[in-house]
A and B are shown apart, each in its own frame.
Chain A
Amino acid sequence: MWYMKRRSFDTSRCAVIDEFVDLFWKHRDRSDPRPVVAGYGHQFFPEELVAACGLDPVNLLVGGSEEWQTRGMDYLTPTSCVFSRQMIGLLEAARDGRHGLPPVKAMIHSNFCSGDWHSMEAIHRYFGVDALTIAVPYKATARALALLAGNLRRLAGELAALAGSGVDEGLLSRSIEQARRLQNAASRYARLPVAGDRKLRDYYEIALAPWEQRVEVANRLVETRGREAGGSGALPLNIVLTGSPVLVGDKFSSLLDALDVPVRFYDFHFADQLGLKRVPAGPGDLVALKRHVDFTDPFQVLAAYYLEVAAPERMVQGVVDHLNERVRAIVDYVRFLPDDQAIDGVVSHVLKFCDVYGTDRTPFKARVQDIHGIPVLDIERDYSASSTGQITTRIEAFKEMLVARKKHADVLE
């Protein structure tokens, strides 16, 4: 292709992706690598559908590389979000066979935001990655439901062709049922007093396992961690980390642990949000679309999930404004805590130039603090190391404030 140019790379291993790769292979046979269909790391990756078509879905939840974020500037703009630039660097490296990733048969090209839409175009054009497009409307309406259900059906046809199989609605229904079981397992897991990097890794282990094994992996982790906790239910602080996802390998996650502010709830789509959200099983699980979904049609069910449940923060003109939805979810995590505990603080993490989580950072902070009285630490950063010192100081100060606040509350009680 005219736009594809090669460039040589250093082939050393890279800390950002090592853990991802190790966890990916944990439940697979390294000696028999099979191609995968990859997601961009976002919510709009219909894994249920990919799996139902007989393919191995893996969401590329990789983030944190300063080198890759810089590489992305060659293809986008310096003010494209850090994650979208970094993905270009990652896929450029993957093209050159680095890092032990399995071969990528195709990637799902979606429009969660401008970031994934445009960087996937570059990845497709310049690195020859096949892209299967699924564009999601912005409003959760009956018409959007019909359009998206039709498009998911089309995508299923493309995936089936790729797999040499056919589209089987029965398999998709079973796959959706499995997604719900996974969500149930996640809500049990969320109740355990597990926090910090270990929790994030557990969620990765679940997310990167082959689709048909995920429920089992999740249940096993619930058992193991439950045993380890041995009935103790309290952590010094219950922190929610929200905003642009912090991914395994990103030093920000280990920094929080190192500063003794382990995250209790990772408010990300592949982590604790799994325990809050459900692929709708009946009209009672929906609001805007409740009268419009034919629940015997798995494509409609999936479309309703992506439009109304999966990512209200990315949608417009929902039944309530999307910011309220985000705030409500944060407060909702309390349901996973014992009765005598509360959410102590929220770290709102925005990757530089992220418009989905960046646009309303200020009102988000204001609503969580003013309406719910939960302190918020708002952090904007990129993947470079330069701002670590300043961020460290802010996290330490935040922690001190939370500890003092909690002590004070205990005394009053």
Chain B
Amino acid sequence: MPRNMASDTIDFPSYLQMSVDFFSAPAIIEEARKSRKIGGLTFPFAELLIAGGVVPIFVPRLNKGRRYDVINAAIAARNALGMRNIARGLDFLRSVDGSGTVINVAGGIINDIISSLNETYEDAAKDAINTGTPIDHCYGARALFGLYKKLGHLIDVNLGIDLRCSVFFNYHESLEINKFVKNNYILDMPYEDSAAGLDFYEQEVWDFLRFQEKATGRRFDEAKFRNVLEDANAAKELIKGVFLDIAPGDVLPCSPATFSVLNSLLVYSQIDYNSRLQRYVEGLKALVQEMHDRVDQPSKRFDATGRPRLIYTPMFGGFEPEIAQYADEIGARVYYPDWVIYGACEPVKTTGNLVRNYAEGLMRFQHGFGFNNEEMANNIVSVARRMKADGIIFCEVFGCRSMCTGHRMLKDLIRHDGLELPVNVITFNNIGDSIGQVKTRVSAMVEMLKGR
């Protein structure tokens, strides 16, 4: 049977598990609230919250989307039947949807949930405009603004990181001005790559930890921090392995379309480790192991030989999910290695001064995004080469005045270095807005790459 999203979902339990964990945040957080404080964040720095006894949450996950019923059903099925049989447990949807075989129903589940997550984003981005966010702000800032407006009251403390982009700083500040969150801390990270700069970051981290202690009444625990960092390092290593070991190969553990969805799941779930770090690491281990197992099994793997590898970046601030599926249909594969490119998958040293080490991690992240566009472009090219990419889809988000200004530098750098790495700059405003045009451009790129 050829691999597709339907068959992947039904017999890829660790993937389904990860998805269910990701989407079941409303229930997890509701339960956690009974005894713990909840901390919001937007970038993958949940370790600081976890070591302070706070349950981290990437706020979009808090929304109960249109298909939250599916997630509830999945949780119930998992509890009753175990993870391996979860797809069978979801068989009931067949009668609800009247849509044919179990496989079709199960295969549609994750897609369906993802599109309902996208709807959440869309609605929030529109709502932000109604609340006065300028219509020309980038999608990510608008959507997050709208989501915090709706869900910010559910968190006890919020960590904002001032990284690279002034729109983002303004967005963090506007959460406070509009009183969407209580106990908001904005971590200042000046463009300062020196010992003094590093001291600065370290002290900012300490200030946040004190702030968090005051807001939550829980002490930051250094011994726990070490354990948290070890777990987080393990998670990052596993995620890096997916992008740098598995993705470059010609044999994939599942269809390219599923692999793309899985990529995006990793990007978004790394932000808060699905709110439960240890479980997340266990889940990732199982996922990576199962990926390797599947690569060894002819009935489960997908031979992607001859399918060009396209890196799609930046995607975390808003992207067009349909492109990956379309690329699969026309014989290509799309990867989303954002956190690998931008330095969020690098381990933090677990000996010596841990907070200092963490500050170094923040500095690496700052460098990952680039103190300037040239640095960012170099990072993209470097990861593209490590992933054996054949081309880059550079997503120019409408309204972006920071990261997306790097596309010219990226192209010039590639030309200057004489690399055979075409860059396709596509524009993104709202999901689905210019999908036809984008498909045409991606298809032209894939054709050109195949013709080489």
Hey, what's the 0/1 contact readout for A132-157 against B, CB within 8 Å counting as 1?
Answer: 01011111010110110011000000
Query: A358: which B residues are within 8 A, CB to CB?
Result: 134, 136-137
Q: How many residues of chain A get a CB closer than 8 Å to chain B's CBs?
A: 52
Are the C-beta atoms of A353 and B401 separated by less than 8 Å?
Answer: yes
Are the C-beta atoms of A81 and B176 separated by less than 8 Å?
Answer: no
| B265 contacts partner chain A, Cβ-Cβ < 8 Å | no
Given the interface pairs A151-B192, A358-B134, the reply to whether A77 lies near B169 with Cβ below 8 Å is: no
Are the C-beta atoms of B186 and A138 separated by less than 8 Å?
Answer: yes
Are the C-beta atoms of B134 and A3 separated by less than 8 Å?
Answer: no
Are the C-beta atoms of B405 and A321 separated by less than 8 Å?
Answer: no
| A290 contacts partner chain B, Cβ-Cβ < 8 Å | no
Binds B, one of A7-15, A108-116, A210-218: A108-116
> Interface size bucket, B side?
35 or more
Query: A118: which B residues are within 8 A, CB to CB?
Result: 372-373, 401-402, 405
Given the interface pairs A147-B200, A361-B134, the reply to whether A84 lies near B401 with Cβ below 8 Å is: yes
8 Å CB contact of B165 from A2, A114, A139: A114
Are the C-beta atoms of A144 and B190 separated by less than 8 Å?
Answer: yes
**Least CB separation from B172: chain A residue:** A316
| B173 contacts partner chain A, Cβ-Cβ < 8 Å | yes
Given the interface pairs A136-B190, A151-B192, A363-B132, the reply to whether A316 lies near B412 with Cβ below 8 Å is: no
**Least CB separation from B399: chain A residue:** A79
CA distance A133 to B401 in the complex (A): 19
Smallest beta-carbon distance A362→chain B, Å:
3
Query: B133: which A residues are within 8 A, CB to CB?
Result: 359
CA distance A137 to B163 in the complex (A): 11
| B177 contacts partner chain A, Cβ-Cβ < 8 Å | yes
Query: B316: which A residues are within 8 A, CB to CB?
Result: none
Are the C-beta atoms of B177 and A321 separated by less than 8 Å?
Answer: yes
Given the interface pairs A143-B200, A317-B173, the reply to whether A76 lies near B190 with Cβ below 8 Å is: no
CA distance A117 to B169 in the complex (A): 14
Given the interface pairs A121-B372, A317-B173, A363-B132, the reply to whether A81 lies near B401 with Cβ below 8 Å is: yes
Given the interface pairs A138-B186, A356-B166, the reply to whether A77 lies near B407 with Cβ below 8 Å is: yes
Hey, what's the 0/1 contact readout for A234-252 against B, CB within 8 Å counting as 1?
Answer: 0000000000000000000
Query: A317: which B residues are within 8 A, CB to CB?
Result: 173, 176, 184, 186
Query: B172: which A residues are within 8 A, CB to CB?
Result: 316
Are the C-beta atoms of B173 and A125 separated by less than 8 Å?
Answer: no
CA distance A146 to B188 in the complex (A): 14
Are the C-beta atoms of B196 and A147 separated by less than 8 Å?
Answer: yes
| B374 contacts partner chain A, Cβ-Cβ < 8 Å | yes
| A352 contacts partner chain B, Cβ-Cβ < 8 Å | yes
Given the interface pairs A147-B196, A352-B136, the reply to whether A139 lies near B398 with Cβ below 8 Å is: no
| B28 contacts partner chain A, Cβ-Cβ < 8 Å | no
Are the C-beta atoms of B398 and A79 separated by less than 8 Å?
Answer: yes
Within 8 A of A (CB), among B390-426: 396, 398-402, 404-405, 407-409, 412, 416
Are the C-beta atoms of B404 and A77 separated by less than 8 Å?
Answer: yes
- Give the 10 A-B CB pairs with smallest separation, nearest first: A362-B132, A135-B191, A359-B170, A113-B166, A114-B402, A137-B190, A76-B405, A114-B166, A316-B173, A118-B405
Interface residues of B (CB under 8 A from A): 131-134, 136-138, 162, 164-167, 169-174, 176-178, 184, 186, 188, 190-192, 196-197, 200, 203-204, 372-374, 396, 398-402, 404-405, 407-409, 412, 416
24 A–B contacts, CB within 8 A, in A order: A2-B412, A75-B405, A77-B396, A80-B401, A114-B402, A118-B402, A118-B405, A121-B374, A122-B408, A136-B190, A137-B188, A138-B186, A139-B186, A147-B196, A147-B200, A151-B192, A316-B169, A316-B173, A323-B177, A353-B401, A355-B137, A359-B133, A359-B173, A361-B132
Interface residues of A (CB under 8 A from B): 2-3, 74-77, 79-81, 84, 111-115, 117-119, 121-122, 125, 133, 135-139, 141, 143-144, 146-147, 150-151, 314, 316-317, 321-323, 350, 352-353, 355-356, 358-363, 380
Knowing that A114-B167, A122-B409, A321-B173 are A-B contacts, what are 10 other residue pairs whose CB atoms are under 8 Å apart, sorted by A's residue number? Answer: A2-B412, A2-B416, A75-B405, A79-B136, A114-B165, A117-B191, A136-B190, A323-B177, A358-B137, A361-B134
